[in-house]
Amino acid sequence: MALLEVDALQTHFRTPDGINRAVDGVSFHVNAGETLAIVGESGCGKSVTAMSILRLIPEPPGKIAGAIRFNGKNLLEASDKEMRAIRGNEISMIFQEPMTSLNPVLTVGRQIGETLRLHQGMSAQAAEDRAVEMLNLVGIPEAKRRVKEYPHQLSGGMRQRVMIAIALACNPKLLIADEPTTALDVTIQAQILDLMRDLKHRVGAAIVLITHDLGVVAEVAERVVVMYAGRKVEEAPVHALFNKPRHPYTQGLLGSVPKLGSSLTGEATRLAEIPGLVPSLKQKIPGCVFASRCAHATDLCTAVAPALEEKAPGHVAACHYALREGALAA
């Protein structure tokens, strides 16, 4: 049994001008100790997927359907109390915005210790001692002094390290990292990624890593889910995805990306620009969601939505023309 199974997840938002289908039928799984990357352009529903797993979506206007099974238990049916016992304890999350994700009026030590006191019943003193250990672990010098400081006294990179310390304090089984390095300088990005990889080996948590950065994916992920307009359009082991992307969207994304294993630092490894706009999520699209931007689109594509098909072992894609082996037929 997989650690996390996301099954036909639908997260819709009611807005004044119609229903926003931010996530529309996405399924994937994460095995214990594994790193799964989710990639896709901005606005394709990655963050909403991540927040849906922890049920952090405001309901209303949001509405989550489908199933999210964690250790076999459907979180969408869990009580608020059960969810609170999971959040920050068994599943924790790191956000994109290190500058604003820490509470400005509480000390760093308190914010790390809080989850320990809450989930593990530690005393205030024990929690603070452990907070110092955690700061050491995430590579913050002078941890003893730093625990008493406030977030505004730390740099962006330091703050993200603190977020990682908070996330890992209770030894979670799953860590969801939503673009943890996007807001940071390139050199700091590399440091934070190194730290996450290092800690992953030590802590043994599974990671869902959401990112724009295909270079990051190549370095740290084992499997990759590619999302487009609220759907999963391709999923493959990382080597297969980089060597033989099946979906035209993935091929477009990979257009300008260096080969697998290239250095993380320096080179721009952001997603390639694909001409055209992401379709509005407020309209139901009858055919392929990518048809409006796809160079290979045909009448079939605009009329019939392609199903996710296994093109090679463990490699699925949703495209009428993606062959089982090789490139596109059309």
Partner 1 sequence: MFAYIVRRVLATIPVMAIVALFVFSLLYIAPGDPAAVIAGDQATPDDVERIRASLGLDRPYLVRFGAWVWDILRGDLGVSIFTNLPVSTMIQQRIEPTLSLMIVTLILAVSIAVPMGVVAAWRQGTWIDRAVMGFAVLGFSVPVFVVGYVLAYFFALEWDLLPVQGYTPFARGFWPWLENLILPSIALGSVYIALIARITRATMLEVLQQDYIRTARAKGLNQSGILFLHALKNAAVPIITVIGIGIALLIGGAVVTESVFAIPGLGRLTVDAILRRDYPVIQGVVLLFSFVYVLVNLAIDLAYTLFDPRIRY
Q: Which residues bind ligand ADP (CB under 6 A)?
A: 13, 15, 20, 22, 40, 42-48, 58, 61-62, 281
Q: How far apart are CB 115 and partner 1 at their closest, in Å?
A: 5
Binding mask 156-195 for partner 1 (x = CB under 8 A): -------x--x-----------------------------
The entry of partner 1, Mg ion, ligand ADP, none that residue 239 binds, CB within 5 to 8 Å by partner kind: none
Q: List C-alpha distances in Å: 288 to 80, 230, 234, 297, 315.
A: 37, 12, 13, 9, 19
Q: List C-alpha distances in Å: 147 to 52, 111, 120, 137, 143.
A: 31, 9, 19, 13, 6
- The residue within the footprint of ligand SF4, chosen from 10, 32, 296, 308 (CB under 6 A), is 296
Q: What single string gives the DSSP state of each residue in 86-152?
A: HBTTTEEEE-S-TTTSS-TTS-HHHHHHHHHHHHH---HHHHHHHHHHHHHHTT-SSHHHHTTS-GG
Non-local (6+) Cβ contacts of 100 within 8 A are none
Per DSSP bridges, beta strands 206-211 and 35-39 are parallel
Classified as helix, coil or strand, 299 is: helix
Nearer to ligand SF4, 224 or 291 (CB): 291
230 part of the interface to ligand SF4, by CB under 6 A: no
Q: How far apart are CB 94 and Mg ion at their closest, in Å?
A: 12
Nearer to ligand SF4, 17 or 299 (CB): 299
- CA-to-CA distance for 143 and 159, rounded, in angstroms? 13
Nearer to ligand ADP, 22 or 163 (CB): 22
The entry of ligand ADP, partner 1, ligand SF4, none that residue 321 binds, CB within 5 to 8 Å by partner kind: ligand SF4
- The residue within the footprint of ligand SF4, chosen from 176, 291, 311, 316 (CB under 6 A), is 291
The entry of ligand ADP, partner 1, ligand SF4, none that residue 130 binds, CB within 5 to 8 Å by partner kind: none
Nearer to ligand SF4, 203 or 305 (CB): 305
311 part of the interface to partner 1, by CB under 8 A: no
Q: How far apart are CB 298 and ligand SF4 at their closest, in Å?
A: 6
DSSP state of 260: T
Q: How far apart are CB 225 and ligand SF4 at their closest, in Å?
A: 16
- The residue within the footprint of ligand SF4, chosen from 165, 208, 294, 316 (CB under 6 A), is 294
Residues that bind Mg ion (CB under 5 A): 47
Across the strands, what pairs with 224? 37, 236
324 part of the interface to partner 1, by CB under 8 A: no
Non-local (6+) Cβ contacts of 185 within 8 A are 156, 157
Q: CA nearest 317: which of 225, 252, 221, 229?
A: 225
Interacting residues with ligand SF4 (CB under 6 A): 247-248, 288, 290-291, 294, 296-297, 301, 306, 319-321
